[in-house]
Amino acid sequence: MGIAAMDILCCRITIGDADPSNPMRIQNGVEITEVQSLEINESYKKLIGTAKVIFPKGSVCRSTIIGNVTLEGKDVSRITTEVMQDGVIIEKRSAQRLVDETTFKVGQRINIKLGYNGVLKNMFDGYITGYNSDSTLEIQCENMAYKLKLKQAPHFETPAKGTTVNEVLEGKYNILKDTGFRIHSDTKRFEIHIGKVKVTDNFTVADILSEWSKYKVYCFLKYDADDDGAMPSIAVGRPYSSSKAQPVFPEDESTGPYRIYFNEHVAQSNLKVVKTDPKFLAVTGKALGTDEKFFEVTVRMNPEYDPEMPGSKEFQTVNATQISKKTHKVTGNTTASGAKTRTKVDLSTYTIVPYMSPHVGINSDRLVEETTEYFRNYNLNGITGNVTVFGDFGLSPAVQVELIDYRNPSKNGVYLVEEVTTTFGVGGYRQQLSIPYKIRK
């Protein structure tokens, strides 16, 4: 009787002090290779990713201390010596002890590697932000962007016409100075306009980057797949659109989409195929005017549109409003062509898609043009829900995956991963993927 091969889960969690010259390097670290449960949450819509690790009572950690040669080691299980290239003899002392609340402290670096059969992949780098040592030992962590929460942003004010991401991060205002972070190379290729920015006191760099997400400008960390020791870069993207005018998310063209076969890689599927009738789709565009007040327009298809009739318009503008920045009151806006004051259309039966203009100081007609373009390029057929895969790939947000399901090919295609929840422990190694944007078939 043959014995089926089994994949063995493995992990290595390293905790220690950050090297001042390179925060990615951990000094005087302890290694833990057992865990009860572990969860990592990351999304390209959030700058700060989180991790939670729970160790069972009785977990053992191993530490290695490097120092001058001594006659004997204290509380060590193994002593080795090594001759360096310059001829200096150093001593390595390895010790093992139980994991408890004294093993680590808030503010220390943590690195998490996960995998199968001894093949590990770097899945999380960050800092310990809290811990609980009650019945089990639980630590809470934030990714490397935690450093940006500790960096005070310089005071500056941009012109009323607005500025760009590149100018704020590394250009004229250079808020990333002395943080160790750089802009991702793909982000630099695009001039992403973000409007007027005014920074006074009590703002950190993380506050500024997180605030942009309200305007659909998403900042997240992008790691170098070939170098675990390199600092991550700051990648910036906008909501997916097939329009050539919209920036795309940074991607690794060498790997291409990760091919996910439902009969091999999928542990659980909660996906539902959605087919939207374009006649019942509406896009609500929002922009910041020169008066620093937000205004909105909603665009839908004209139900009486006739392409053979001269002058027939394909789209309608409805529910145009202006929102006062002080009172947040809907005041009515008639600057858009075809929009009447108090013209309110019931869109409760429509699928509403939000759009945020990257341009500041535009009028309603310009916003209607942008919203209409977004409508034309919006992918009407996609999927909702999520899919849970095994840990074969070790995926991160903003990568592309290709779904291949021979039994239900309607969902097949290439998708952009929005959010990844990684779980690891006695229940196995899983990754739950949120993939709302279908890029191509």
Handedness of CA 332, 338, 344, 350 (dihedral sign): negative
The 10s digit of each residue's pLDDT in 7-57 is 899 999 999 999 998 999 999 888 989 999 999 999 999 999 999 999 887
DSSP 3-state assignment of 185? Answer: helix
Q: What is the pLDDT of residue 19?
A: 92
Give CA–CA dist 179/167, Å, rounded: 16
pTM passes above 0.95: no
Predicted pLDDT of residue 64: 62
Torsion angle defined by CA atoms of residues 421, 424, 427 and 432, in that order, rounded to the nearest 10 degrees: 20
Which residues, listed in sequence order, are joined to residue 299 by a DSSP beta bridge?
Answer: 283, 317
232: which 2 tokens?
A: 């991550």
Token duo for residue 12: 């290595």
pLDDT at 392: 92
- What is the distance between the alpha carbons of residues 383 and 380, in angstroms, rounded to a whole number? 10
Backbone angles phi, psi at 251, to 5 degrees: -145, 160
- What per-residue confidence (pLDDT) applies to 76? 45
What span, in angstroms and rounded, lies between the C-alpha atoms of 135 and 180? Answer: 38
* Rounded Cα distance, 354 and 277, in Å: 17
Please state, in angstroms and as integers, the Cα–Cα distance from residue 365 to each residue in 102, 287, 333, 340, following that order: 62, 11, 11, 14
**Is residue 82 within 8 Å of 89, Cβ to Cβ?**
yes
For the chain, which ranges sit under pLDDT 70? 1-5, 58, 64-97, 239-256, 292, 322-343, 379-382
pLDDT digits 0-9 by tens, 121-162: 999 999 999 988 777 889 999 999 999 999 999 888 888 777
384: phi then psi, degrees, rounded to nearest 5? -115, 170
